Amino acid sequence: MEIFTSWPSWAHAQGPLGAALPATTVDALRDAVAFARRKHGVQQRPTGRPYQEHLLEALEVAVSGAKLSDRDVLVAIVLHDVLEDTSCTEGDLARRFGPEVAALVRWVTKPAGGAKADHLASLVKAPPRAVLVKLADRVSNVQELQRMPWRFQRRYYLETVAYIMPLAGTHPWFARWFGEWRARWRRVERWPA
């Protein structure tokens, strides 16, 4: 199972992105990373690592792993948490990055006060491009699940199997990656609740 952690900063990502994508897409991604960095500020991941690392991991998953090149999908991957975790609005995103990027980010954003399971279940109705955003996000989140407490590991594993893996079936690379990941983590199914 491939792990995507070699782009902890824009300096690490820029070269591989430039080799894989048109310069205009790389420029849009540079702008999105800078915007996300400003919006997320000092926010950290549950592991204590800078939040930007998660955004760049998800981008690395999409470009290096799944070989995605759709500019709007890639920009939405970088921005996928700004509506949920910052003061940024959908209008802010639409004005800065276009209505398609804003719509993709909205699809993967849990509504305020909404149940996470309901939101994840609703993704079966999402456009295929929005599903790609969610899949790249979740690969980043689960690839090093062992860093989290065991109760979190179990809940997140079961949630991924129930809601995310069915979405992965529409994209062969993601289906294969999540299949390998599940085989590695299947022991979690036997853990007590």
Under 8 Å between Cβ of 111 and 90: no
2 within domain boundaries: no
pTM of the model: 0.94
pLDDT by residue for the chain (193 residues), tens only, comes to 999 999 999 999 999 999 999 999 999 999 999 999 999 988 888 777 888 999 999 999 999 999 999 999 999 999 999 999 999 999 999 999 999 999 999 999 998 888 898 999 999 999 999 999 999 999 999 998 888 888 888 999 999 999 999 999 989 999 999 999 999 998 888 777 6
> Distances in Å between the alpha carbon of 156 and those of 31, 128, 143?
31, 23, 11
90 within domain boundaries: yes
49 within domain boundaries: yes
1 within domain boundaries: no
147 within domain boundaries: yes
28 within domain boundaries: yes
Domain range spanning residue 185?
Answer: 10-190
Sequence-distant (≥ 6) Cβ neighbours of residue 113 within 8 angstroms? none
**Count: domains in the chain:** 1
Residues that are catalytic: 84-85
176 within domain boundaries: yes
79 within domain boundaries: yes
| Structure tokens, 164 | 């995310």
CATH (domain of 54): 1.10.3210.10
User: Which residues on neighbouring strands pair with residue 44, listed in sequence order?
Assistant: 50
Concatenated DSSP letters of the chain: -----S-SSHHHHHHHHHHHS-HHHHHHHHHHHHHHHHHHTT-B-TTSSBHHHHHHHHHHIIIIIS----HHHHHHHHHTTHHHHSS--HHHHHHHH-HHHHHHHHHTSPPTT--HHHHHHHGGGS-HHHHHHHHHHHHHHHTTGGGS-HHHHHHHHHHIIIIIHHHHTTSHHHHHHHHHHHHHHGGGGGS--
